[in-house]
Amino acid sequence: MSAHELHAGHDEHHHDDIHVSKGDYVKGFILAVILTAIPFWLVMSGAIADRTTAVLVLGLFAAVQVVVHMVYFLHMNGKIQGGWTMLSTLFTIIFLAVTVVGTLWVMFHMNAAMMPAHP
């Protein structure tokens, strides 16, 4: 058996019907520019005085921009590869969130336990 014969039956399983138009790329690009320009303006103009509010607003814009990139440029949706791509992405997001939150929690409590109290 040749290599071509071995892989001949597998080709139809690896191709997903992704129909992408130039308009989708243009929409994604425009959204990405807007989601970059607004936070840039907010920071440079000092429109948000409170630091905590600024971090939350900028984080929200960043999260929305990640979703825009995943949908318009990486073409991720629940239909591609039977939903496994989306499932693996959700697992990665949850794993990273647990890792980051756990690391910050440990560092905060280690700092509180190790640093002497100041009078």
Domain boundary assignment for the chain? 20-75, 78-119
Task: Kindly write down the DSSP assignment for every residue of 17-57, as one continuous string.
Answer: -----HHHHHHHHHHHHHHHHHHHHHHHHT----HHHHHHH
Rg of the chain taking only CA atoms, in angstroms: 22
Per-residue pLDDT tens over the stretch 61-82: 999 999 899 889 888 877 777 7
Per-residue pLDDT tens over the stretch 6-15: 555 544 444 4
Averaged confidence pLDDT in the chain: 83
pTM of the complete model: 0.64
Q: What CA–CA distance (Å, rounded) separates 82 from 16?
A: 9
Token pair, residue 27, equals 């929409």
